[in-house]
Amino acid sequence: YRLSPFHPLARFKGPIIVKVSKLWGLWIAGRGSQYLYHKKLHDQYGPWVRTGPNELSVIDAPAVSQILNFGGLDKGRFYEAHTAKRRVWNRAVTGAALREYEPLVAKRATQLMSRLVEIYLLNITRLDVMGDLAFGGAFEALREGKDVAGIGEKISAFMTSGVALSGQIPWISPTLHLFPQVGRGVQALNEFSQRLAVQRVEKGGSGVKDLWYHVSDEAGLEKVRPTLESSATDGIVAVVGASDTTVSTMTSLVWFLLSNQEYYRRVRLEIDTVFVDGDDPRDVSKHEQLQFLSACINETLRLHPPLPSNGPRGVDPKSGGRVIAGRFIPAGTTVYTPPYALHRNPAYFFPHTDHFVPERWLPGSNFEKHDTSAFIPFSLGPANCVGQKFARGEILVVVSLLLKSFDLKFVDGFDSEGWALRRRDYFVATRTPLLVNLTPRESFIL
Ligand code: HEM
């Protein structure tokens, strides 16, 4: 039936193996290769591809916008386990709220620079920043020089098992606890976040209106105050969703710059010009002058989107189906809009589609194709990333401080070309260590 012309998705092209069963897709996802597989299928079959018996992947920009934007498809069963409390989240990321967080980020960025003299710790800085914001300074990984709480490990167990699996087989989410291996990863992270939440409440406010202040509604703006349990879930969503995505971007950015020395020199020159003697990269008022660095961040997010496949959407199984960009999508269909494949579609970014060319983002640049409606690293619409402004701000502080303070160079003999090929797609892309030597510069900042 799934291969027959009677199946509601029969008109959509795709390999036979994926039409028959979800097992092949599950195997690909288990290896972290979904983003590459989707890209390959789109290269072969075009912007609409059938990727499962009841699943599509779409990289046609107008259709992507209709799917993700207001009035589009639901987030579907994939998110059943999460409480999407968008209203409290929105309060947590207003301009005023972000200004409250700035000293926290600046403090950790400074600590990073001092510890970098000894060891490269970008990976754990993100833990401390999010520990500060969400749980009142819970982790202290930089101070200890390592991830003492083992949170990195808990996050990867959670990502590689529960999240990847429920993305492939949405109906499995409510039954995850039945799979001991998978359930353990999910449960360990849940218990950990509950403990942190209790600690944060016992410790009382940090004096800063941090993220916890908003997600637990300390100001009492909601009619019904969120329970400790649901604020703990939000706290951990912040640590997982906000820290790994940001560090993925920073690590890829360093990799792109060191692999393209002329761009590395140009970014450094810009930072040295904007922050002259005594000026401090933690001064966010100067960040809008960092045009070339911002272009490099965009180009990094284009080629290495931290969520390479994005969260799927679904057509309500109880509906009569939906028409998207002139095509009928039957009820119950899962729809992917994978940023990795979309961003590398030459119909939207051309020439040098697969190459790091940050100039395409500079004002006045004249590339044959530069369609920003196809640029969705933070997704689109009502469920897009609430933290994108904060993420950009954090990246600008840390990267400009890093380049102002150190000369960076790949460790001799490091397989830098192979590094990008080892990125894996477990909802947030995972990476192997990027080995970089750091030599303090004269302008080293503490
Ligand atoms: C470069 C860094 C980041 C990237 C690329 C990124 C990307 C994304 C994407 C693509 C989504 C939507 C997923 C979907 O549509 O299924 C999302 C959702 C979300 N992000 Fe981010 N994110 C980043 C940083 C952050 C930060 C720093 C925070 C918090 C301070 C944050 C908080 C959230 C939350 C709460 C959601 C869920 C929104 C909702 O469901 O309404 N993110 N992010």
In the chain, the amino acid numbered 374 is: A
| Sequence-ordered strand ranges (E) for 208-338 | 313-314, 322-324, 327-329, 334-336
Q: Nearest residue CA, atom 7 of ligand 1?
A: 378
pLDDT tens digits, residue range 202-247?
A: 777 666 777 777 777 887 888 888 887 777 777 777 777 777 788 8
- Residue 46 corresponds to which tokens in the numbers above? 């075009």
Task: Specify which residues 328 forms β-bridges with.
Answer: 323
CA–centroid distance, residue 96 to ligand 1 (Å) = 19
Mutate to test the pocket of ligand 1, among 70, 94, 378 (most ligand atoms within 8 A of CB): 378
Q: What span, in angstroms and rounded, lies between the C-alpha atoms of 233 and 229?
A: 6
Q: Say what angle helices 151-158 and 122-135 make with each other, to 10 degrees.
A: 90
Going by C-alpha positions, the residue among 339, 324, 382 that lies closest to residue 66 is 324
Q: Nearest residue CA, atom 10 of ligand 1?
A: 378
DSSP codes of every residue in 295-312 = HHHHHHHHHS-SSSS---
Q: Nearest residue CA, atom 13 of ligand 1?
A: 311
CATH second-level architecture of 16-440?
Orthogonal Bundle (1.10)
CA–centroid distance, residue 388 to ligand 1 (Å) = 7
Q: What is the pTM for the complete model shown?
A: 0.80
Tell me, what's the ipTM?
0.98
The answer to whether the annotation marks 296 as part of a ligand binding site is: no
What are the respective helix, strand and coil percentages of the chain, to the nearest 5?
55, 10, 35
pLDDT tier at 119 (50, 70, 90 boundaries)? very low
pLDDT tens digits, residue range 60-115?
A: 999 999 999 988 888 754 444 444 567 777 788 788 888 888 888 877 777 777 66
Pocket (CB within 6 angstroms of ligand 1): 84, 86, 89, 237-238, 241-242, 245-246, 249, 306-307, 310-311, 377-379, 383-387, 390-391
pLDDT tens digits, residue range 399-428?
A: 998 898 889 998 888 899 999 999 998 888
